[in-house]
Amino acid sequence: MTDKGWRVTRHVQSICLSAASFKVSEAGRQRVLLQKRKNVHAFVEGYETDSFDESTAKGVSYNPYKSSHFFLKDAPSIPIFKTPAARIKTSGIEISS
């Protein structure tokens, strides 16, 4: 975040975050459900880091039509709100403990 609020400071193919929080705007999600159109209403925030433990990596997903929160791909009933580490790539999001 900058002194002017949230701004894109650069574009990357992959980024690792520590102390990651997964956020969903419920108002934005409701807008998607009503309009049946995509809009930016879900994001991950944290502190940029260089470390990510591949050995415990698990895929994470979000679908506003199925859930009001991020969830594990292998276990959709398990919500994800915070995690010690996350990696966001063009191919998806992973978390590790």
Does a structural domain hold residue 3? Answer: no
Q: Which domain holds residue 79?
A: 14-96
- Whether pLDDT at 2 is above 80: no
**Cα–Cα nearest to 54, from 1, 2, 96, 24:** 96
Give residue-wise pLDDT tens across range 21-75. 999 999 999 999 999 999 999 999 999 999 999 999 999 999 999 999 999 999 9
Does a structural domain hold residue 80? Answer: yes
Residue 6: the pLDDT is 75
Rg (CA), the chain: 14
DSSP string, 16-58: EEEEEEEEE-HHHHHHHHHH------EEEEEEEES---GGG-E
Does a structural domain hold residue 65? Answer: yes
Query: pTM of the prediction?
Result: 0.88
Residue 7: the pLDDT is 79
Does a structural domain hold residue 9? Answer: no
Does a structural domain hold residue 4? Answer: no
Does a structural domain hold residue 21? Answer: yes
| Number of separate domains in the chain | 1
Does a structural domain hold residue 6? Answer: no
- Whether pLDDT at 97 is above 90: no
- Please check whether residue 42 is in contact with residue 24, taking contact to mean a CB–CB distance below 8 angstroms: yes
Does a structural domain hold residue 45? Answer: yes
